Amino acid sequence: MLIKGVYIMREKKMFVWENSLSKGCSKILFLFIFFSLILSNSVGNKEAYGSDDFFHEHQHEDEIPSGVMEAHTHSQGEWMTTYRYMYMDMPEHYSGTKKQTVDQVHNSFMISPVNMTMEMHMLGLMYGVNDEFTAMLMVPYLIKDMEHRRRSDSKQFSTQSQGIGDVKLSGLYSLKKYMSQPIHLNVGVSFPTGSINRKYDTLAGADQPLPYPMQLGSGTVDFYPGITYLDHKNKWSWGSQAISTIRFGKNDQKYRLGNEYKMTSWIGYKWQDWINTSFRIKGNIWGNISGEDSRLNPTMVPTADSNRRGGERVDLFFGINLIGQKGILSEHRVDLEIGYPVYQNLDGPQLGVGIQGTLGWQKAW
Ligand SMILES: [Cu+2]
């Protein structure tokens, strides 16, 4: 009976995992293969551009991995539209660097998360105000899904939230006037357009306030200072970017999400004018929550505990970019990046990241 129960639970977990994995990743892969077929048909030669300079101007931005934002500037009057679909699966708990099973989480909490998936559709618009300063607007739409299991009867239930996240406005300031290295400064600000009041029916009752990771925004105005280095030689390209998220004050529910520090470096190789692959490493450190949302009960489920949200993680990514070469496809870029963590140290129990991916499209005009 017990063995059968465990077996069913494991089956169910596998199903949830496979289900969420296939939901995001097969969607990404399908779209990517579709675009590759279109773009590989458009392989042309450099002469299609008319001049080598034009090609040179644009090639560096085509080589940046899909998951890296705000890494290139534009020349005066140039626009760019971007779309990103991001997917993240969080299938396992960590406490420190150690994995924890749902049963172990149940030793301290009545409810344990089992799995979480996050999807994001992000629209971006870039504009070269002048040759030094590029402005960027990013509008995210988030879809979050969390599966839980109750200790007393092993009953599973899921919660969902979706909607607009925090809209971000950034400025990228090129330092080429002052130094020979291709470096630009990033300054960004996000506005609390994402809800922090999402509710959902749970086993505890109808319309329960969702815990911190299921909300859509920070609830505060946040600042994003950063610096980006981007270079290339022959068929190789490389870059580094450090961007922090700095938050002040408290939101309407009397808490503030932790600050975040991200650092990433990558190297890319251009096999042909239309195809570039990249390898990237990313380190990420984020703090716990200050204050707390008084509607949540931190002893019931770890996601409601403001002191179990911080952590650090290192991810490795493999990316591929396809760049349209002529006709109506010229300057369209379709890109894909898949990542997996190699190190996670979380204030837990907290769900850690499994596979993650970004599928993007961008076009300058
Ligand atoms: Cu751009």
CA of 285 to the centre of ligand 1 (A): 27
pLDDT band at 35 (very low <50, low <70, confident <90, very high): low
- Which among 289, 292, 344, 287 has a CA at the least distance from the CA of 310? 287
- The DSSP output letter for 109 is -
Comparison of pLDDT for 3 and 95, the residue scoring more:
95
- Å from CA of 277 to ligand 1 middle: 19
Find the 72 Cα to ligand 1 centroid distance in Å.
6
pLDDT at 31: 55
State the distance from the centre of ligand 1 to the C-alpha of 284, rounded, in angstroms.
Answer: 24
Q: Could you tell me the distance, in angstroms and rounded to a whole number, from the CA of residue 269 to the centre of ligand 1? A: 20
Q: How confident is the model at residue 30 (pLDDT cuts 50, 70, 90)?
A: low
Residue 306 CA, ligand 1 centroid: distance in Å = 37
308-330 CB burial, b ≥16 within 10 A, e <16: bbbbebebebebbbbbbbeeebe
Cα-to-centroid distance, 74 and ligand 1 (Å): 6
CA of 276 to the centre of ligand 1 (A): 17
DSSP state of 257: P
Q: What is the pTM of this model?
A: 0.83
Higher-confidence position of 175 and 48: 175
CA of 314 to the centre of ligand 1 (A): 26
| Domains of the chain, residue spans | 2-364
Residue 293 CA to ligand 1 centre (angstroms): 38
Query: CB of 71 within 8 A of CB of 345?
Result: no
The CATH class of 2-364 is mainly beta
How confident is the model over 272-284, as pLDDT tens digits? 999 999 999 999 9
Q: How far is the CA of 362 from the centre of ligand 1 (A)?
A: 8
Please, which pLDDT band fits residue 329 given cuts at 50, 70 and 90? confident
| Tens-digit pLDDT profile for residues 79-116 | 999 999 999 999 999 999 999 999 999 999 999 999 99
User: Which residues lie below 8 Å from residue 243, measured CB to CB, with a gap of 6+?
Assistant: 70, 186, 188, 224, 225, 226, 262
Task: Read off the pLDDT of residues 248-257 as tens digits, 9 standing for 90 and up.
Answer: 999 999 999 9
Contact 191, 166 (CB under 8 A): yes
pLDDT at 56 > cutoff 50: no
Q: Cα(133) to centroid of ligand 1, in Å?
A: 12
Mean pLDDT computed over 47-52: 36
Q: What angle do CA 110, 299, 215 make, to 5 degrees?
A: 95
Cα–ligand 1 centroid distance for 33 (angstroms): 23
